[in-house]
Amino acid sequence: MDSLWDTHVHLDTMPSPAQAARRADQQGVRSWVLVASSPDAYHQQSRLLAQGILSPIRYVRTVGLHPEIVHADGALQALRDIMDRGSVAAIGEIGLPAYRFLTREAFNRNWEWLYIQLSWAEARQLPVVVHAVHAGCEPMLRILEEFPGLRQVVFHWLKAPAEAVQEAASRRYYVGITPDILWRGRDRTLFTQVPPDLVLLETDAPCPHRPHNPRGEPHEIAELVRFLDAFSPLPGGWGELSVLNAQRFFGWAGQ
Ligand SMILES: [Zn+2]
């Protein structure tokens, strides 16, 4: 089997990425999707990558204008400049805010930019990493109806009402499952509503995943796979299927 994937990592906010890479390597989690929440985050990641700190991790990169952030005026153009250089495997994370109150001006601009980014994803046939949780999931599903030509969509670290999860799955959208499932009944219930071939495994590192754990790291994917193999066994195992799903979603173009 290929190395395990962590499909959602924020390299630029990780406190000790080189050590995290070593720990992930020891656990066989050697394929990471580096998600940038803004053009600035993307460039910060580029500086870190140029130092070689992720060796021997392979990675693909995504960038989008995160819906919970008040972006700089030139952020949309800066995003376009990055995409025009052809080095991104997906657009994201983009979506709707759930945790932060934005001013009307910031909210409206992010809303407008969400549509523009979705249209770019459709035109360029790039997958989309979506942040739309809780009450944001349902309106996001409505917005996505306006983009029937999107190649792939993943609702990353999804928490949402059962009907919304079922609708996402029926539309063949992927769902990001995190190590929260090890201890949270809510996430176990959600997981049982998603067909196995639509599951992507992710940590959203450095976001923490269990009570009293200060931060999350990609190596936790190995423990997540062991848990899923016991919780919901598959003939070939969750390691193999989760790798296939990730490769299919992102198209393997790792560096
Ligand atoms: Zn994230």
pLDDT tens digit at each of 255 positions of the chain: 679 999 999 999 999 999 999 999 999 999 999 999 999 999 999 999 999 999 999 999 999 999 999 999 999 999 999 999 978 999 999 999 988 888 999 999 999 999 999 999 999 999 999 999 999 999 999 999 999 999 899 999 999 999 999 999 999 999 999 999 999 999 999 999 999 999 999 999 999 887 778 889 999 999 999 999 999 999 999 999 999 999 999 987 544
203: CA distance to ligand 1 center in Å? Answer: 9
195: CA distance to ligand 1 center in Å? Answer: 22
Terminal Cα distance for the chain, rounded: 18
pLDDT score, position 1 = 61
158: CA distance to ligand 1 center in Å? Answer: 11
Rounded to whole angstroms, the Cα distance separating 9 from 207 reads: 9
Domain assignments of the chain as residue spans, ordered by start: 5-250
Tokens read off for 212: 């009293």
pLDDT score, position 212 = 76
pLDDT score, position 151 = 86
90: CA distance to ligand 1 center in Å? Answer: 13
Global pTM exceeds 0.85: yes
pLDDT score, position 217 = 97
181: CA distance to ligand 1 center in Å? Answer: 17
204: CA distance to ligand 1 center in Å? Answer: 5
Look up the CATH architecture of domain 5-250: Alpha-Beta Barrel (3.20)
200: CA distance to ligand 1 center in Å? Answer: 14
Residue 217: which residues within 8 A CB-CB, separation 6 or more?
A: 14, 20, 23, 24, 203, 205, 206
pLDDT score, position 254 = 47
Q: In whole angstroms, how large is the CA radius of gyration of the chain?
A: 17
Long-range contacts for 248-254 (Cβ within 8 Å, ≥24 apart)? 249/7, 249/127, 249/152, 249/154, 249/174, 249/200, 250/7, 250/33, 250/60, 250/89, 250/90, 250/127, 251/89, 251/127, 252/60, 253/60, 253/89, 254/31, 254/58, 254/59, 254/60
If you write DSSP's letter for every residue of 62-109 in order, what string do you get?
EE---TTS---TTHHHHHHHHHHTT--SEEEEEE--SSS---HHHHHH
